Amino acid sequence: MAFDLTEKRYVRETGLEARISRIVEPVANDLGYALVRVKVTQDNGCTLQIMAEDANGRFAINDCERLSKDLSPVLDVEDPIDREYHLEVSSPGIDRPLVRARDYRTYIGHEAKIELADAVAGGRKRFRGDIVAVTDDTVTIRLPDAPKDTDPDHVLPLGAVAEAKLVMTDKLLNLAQLDQQEHPIDEGDDVETIELDSDALDDTAGNPKLSEEID
């Protein structure tokens, strides 16, 4: 399947985050990256978190550096945030957000947490279970705690998803370990000389991260 840089994302973003996404996505696409998520948090006063990935779902430190370098002048011109903030560019990580149909397809058989923007029939908004099937616009999740004599499989419309991410499991960690063995991180001088903040490698997600302060 061809890698579609602009395949529709299904994720809840605020008005500010949606505006920043429209600024960031063309820059990422020009470099061959797909935007995963934009999030504005109050960490360190204000932090703009940008997740992106390449065609293989990876994003190394040098990729973080390339995207950050091209994004900084564009964000300076567009000036979407009216105060000083930290720009944090990272990979999706192991327990990554699921934002496109292809993400769900890639991780069929793995456990995920899905939150809908609005409750479905039965009043439920949050689901946690294994991904068992995916179409272009739905995902089927199997709940391990479904009451006896009820169908454990729930078909959820992707258009209703507010937020979704993988759950860190041994199965997922084993998959990540195999991927790392097949595609080891380049430890050349160009990576070693990049200056990162103290939490550059997230303890839970293991994702490369580059951070800088923007006035």
**pLDDT 10s digits, 102-139:** 999 999 999 999 999 988 867 889 999 999 999 999 99
Nearest to 134 by CA among 101, 111, 165: 101
Same domain, 80 and 122: no
In a domain, 8, yes or no: no
Sign of CA dihedral 72, 73, 79, 80: negative
In a domain, 5, yes or no: no
**Is pLDDT larger for residue 121 or for residue 48?**
48
pLDDT confidence of 199, banded at 50, 70, 90? very low
Q: What percent of the chain has pLDDT over 90?
A: 69
Same domain, 50 and 75: yes
In a domain, 4, yes or no: no
Domain of 197, CATH number, reads 3.30.300.70
Nearest to 97 by CA among 129, 60, 156, 52: 52
Answer whether residue 185 shows pLDDT above 80.
Answer: no
Domain of 132, CATH number, reads 2.30.30.180
pLDDT in tens, 150-174: 899 999 999 999 999 999 999 999 9
Answer whether residue 190 shows pLDDT above 70.
Answer: no
When divided into structural domains, the chain yields a total of: 2
CA-to-CA separations, 173 to 48, 140, 169, 208, in angstroms, rounded: 27, 22, 6, 16
In a domain, 2, yes or no: no
Q: What's the domain range around 59?
A: 15-95+172-214
Same domain, 86 and 28: yes
Q: What is the pLDDT of residue 201?
A: 32
Same domain, 29 and 126: no
Same domain, 157 and 209: no
pLDDT confidence of 195, banded at 50, 70, 90? very low
Q: What is the pLDDT of residue 181?
A: 85
Q: What crossing angle do the helices spanning 61-78 and 15-30 adopt, rounded to 10°? A: 120
Same domain, 74 and 112: no
Q: 3-class SS at 19?
A: helix
Same domain, 53 and 124: no
CA-to-CA separations, 155 to 67, 113, 138, 161, in angstroms, rounded: 36, 14, 6, 12
Q: Which helix (H) or strand (E) holds 89?
A: strand 85-90
Same domain, 106 and 91: no
The whole model's pTM is what? 0.84
Same domain, 178 and 78: yes
Alpha-carbon span 74 to 86, nearest angstrom: 15
pLDDT in tens, 77-106: 999 999 999 999 999 999 999 999 999 999
